[in-house]
Amino acid sequence: MDRIKDYAERVYGFAVRHTYSREEADELSQEILLTAVRELPKLKDEGRFEPWLWGVARNVTRAFRRAAGKKRAVYLYDVPEEALAEDGEDGDGEVYGFLRAKVAYLPKIYRDVIILHYYDGLSTRAISEKLHIPEGTVTWRLAEARKKIKGGFKSMNETALRPVHLSLSLYGSCNYDGKLRPFPTAFFDDALSQNILCCSYEKPRTVGELAELCGVPAYYVEDRVENLLSREAMVEAGKGRYQTGFVIRSDKHGIYYRENAEKALLPVADGLISALKDVTRQALQIDFYKAEKDENSLFYLFSALAFSYAGEKCNPLPFPRFKKRFDGYMWSYIGSIETHGAKWMGIGVEKNSNGASRGSYSHTVFNGIGGTAQRSMMYDNYVNVCEDILKSGKTEDLYSLDNAVNEGYIVKRADGSLFVTTPAFTMEQTQRFREIAVKSLMPLMPAYAECVCSFVEGYKKLFPAHLHDDVDRLCYSLFVGMLADVIEYGQKAGKVAPPSGNRFVDILQQFK
């Protein structure tokens, strides 16, 4: 029973993705959990609990959707003959079905008065009393609804029925495990929610406009919008008009970046490369755990780490504080529309500070620098196991060890020894490296900052004005991120060798 309770939020997320309204999601999730409680005694192998639970969820969902689909068809698509007669139609079955579908596309404010007036036979005064709105408003909405039914959607927008895939993630300070505590994005990773977000990104949209753009009846859109508002992925820009509440990267950002970033940095690129080589030469004299990486591989790590330290002192760009979200954490969403390799910005930095666990090391990953490989940030328990091995060559946390091995953070060698694949600094070594980095890069930072600010001035103009805080935070990260363009320039000019061997750029650092 306790195990089922632990999965309640994930089951609700599953229900959201497989239904068309908040009410249906509530009903379906309850049905799944009740069925699981009832059937749990039949489970023979406790180790198979999770696949068994999702099997129950799929079976319950199939039955639920069949029943829910029938109910929706009766209420939301049935329009009385009188409503059709006012359009001058003859009640032909094909036309009747077409007009019923058009009613389904109406936003709720129009659909409600049409159904109450024609289906329930209520007068405008009775509708006024029922909905608590002026009778004149009812009359106006009826007239507008008739116009919309009459006109229909003569030509669907080109985006309709051609869904866009949106990749979603978070940045900021948060702590999710993806299972018992799923990322907030898990509650709107369905195609319709994603397309609503894309369609309302550049400017606010009404539910009716979103229904037309997405090619989906308005009542589906309304439920999705309500969910997106509750998850703070959308904002109400004006009465009945909604807009995406976070940055979505697209081709236009990538094209602008590709055409302007390297050009903006040319005045300082050669000097920065020389300085970074000097940082590497000095840092190699530190007796730290190198994870058997060669000098060339460490150049990429030292460059990224040095820039991050210089950025702490010299970054002139603003960084607005994150606001506290509905779950108590400080973060923001970020989205990306899949493209064919359009480059949008440089280095991405992820850090697990690991402040709430038994360990004393953090893990930082730098992705997107000079053709190096992508790597995910470690979970707390992986970091702690790596620390155990660095200190004693072994760990008692065998479960986390197996997972860390599977992810490639640790290697089990033929002789049974354990090898951590990520370089590591003690606190003293980090301080020594920081001093080297700041001393070598500081003289070049004012000129570099001027180049970055010049680029950012034009880059910011590509984003919707209401996202100014998110845009400022993204541009702040470009101070370190544009190092990737300096390195790329150096590679093309033959001044920097391409990455070799283990191509991950990450580091473990002791913090206490």
What tens digit of pLDDT does each residue of 387-436 get? 999 999 999 999 999 999 999 999 999 999 999 999 999 999 999 999 99
Instruction: Give the model confidence (pLDDT) of 141-175 as tens digits.
Output: 888 888 877 665 554 555 555 667 888 988 888 87
- Residue 68 pLDDT level (bands cut at 50, 70, 90): low
Length in residues, the chain: 512
pLDDT at 456: 96
**Using 50, 70 and 90 to split pLDDT, how confident is the model at 120?**
low
Which residue did the predictor score with more confidence, 344 or 42? 42
- The yes or no reply on domain 78-151 and CATH 1.10.150.120 is no
Considering only residues 424 and 19, tell me which one the structure prediction assigns the higher pLDDT.
424
pLDDT(94) > 70: no
Look at residue 339 in the predicted model and tell me its pLDDT: 66
Task: Read off the pLDDT of each residue in 109-120 and give the average, rounded to a whole number.
Answer: 78
For residue 95, pLDDT over 60 is answered with: no
Give residue 46's pLDDT.
82
| pLDDT tier, 243 (very low <50, low <70, confident <90, very high otherwise) | very high
436: left (phi over 0), alpha (psi -120 to 50) or beta: alpha
**Does the structure show a pLDDT above 60 at 341?**
no
At how many degrees (to 10) do helices 427-441 and 251-283 cross?
A: 110
d(CA 286, CA 429): 7
Residue percentage of the chain with pLDDT more than 70: 85
Q: What pLDDT, in 10s, does the model give residues 456-497?
A: 999 999 999 999 999 999 999 999 999 999 999 999 999 999
| pLDDT for res 348 | 83
Look up the pTM and report it: 0.71
pLDDT of res. 22: 66
For 154, other C-beta atoms within 10 Å of its C-beta total: 5
Return the SS3 of 12. helix
Average pLDDT (196-221) is 88
- Of 378 and 371, the structure prediction assigns the larger pLDDT to 378
Q: According to the model, what pLDDT value does residue 13 have?
A: 78
In Å, what is the CA distance from 273 to each residue of 85, 151, 444, 505?
A: 77, 64, 11, 18
Report the pLDDT value the prediction gives residue 426, as an integer from 0 to 100. Answer: 97
* pLDDT of res. 178: 64
Q: What is the pLDDT of residue 84?
A: 37
Q: Confidence band (pLDDT; 50, 70, 90) for 92? A: very low
Distance CA 74, CA 367 (A): 52
Give mean pLDDT, residues 94-114.
69
The one-letter code for the residue type at 367 is N
- Measured distance CA(235)–CA(228) in Å, rounded: 9
Among 9-23, 46-60, 67-81, 223-237, which stretch is predicted with the lowest mean pLDDT? Answer: 67-81
CATH code of domain 160-245 = 1.10.10.10
Q: Is the pLDDT of residue 295 over 70?
A: yes
Average pLDDT over residues 268-280: 97
* pLDDT exceeds cutoff 50 at 111: yes
Name 334's bridge partners: 169, 247
Q: Is the pLDDT of residue 276 over 80?
A: yes
pLDDT band at 305 (very low <50, low <70, confident <90, very high): very high
**Domain residue extents for the chain:** 78-151, 160-245, 252-378+422-510
pLDDT of residue 21: 61
Q: What is the pLDDT of residue 93?
A: 44
Query: H or E stretch including 67?
Result: helix 49-77
Q: What pLDDT does 160 receive?
A: 52
pLDDT at 208: 86
Judged against a pLDDT cut of 70, whether residue 511 lies above it is answered with: yes
Averaged pLDDT of the chain: 85
For residue 220, the model assigns a pLDDT of 80
Distance CA 64, CA 18 (A): 10
- DSSP state at residue 393: S
Give the pLDDT of residue 280.
97
For the stretch 434-460, pLDDT in tens is: 999 999 999 999 999 999 999 999 999
Structure-model confidence comparison of residues 449 and 223, the more confident one: 449
Amino acid 501 reads: G
Sign of CA dihedral 68, 161, 204, 115: negative
Confidence of residue 86 (pLDDT cuts 50, 70, 90): very low
| Eight-state DSSP code of residue 289 | B
Residue 177 binned pLDDT confidence (cut-offs 50, 70, 90): low
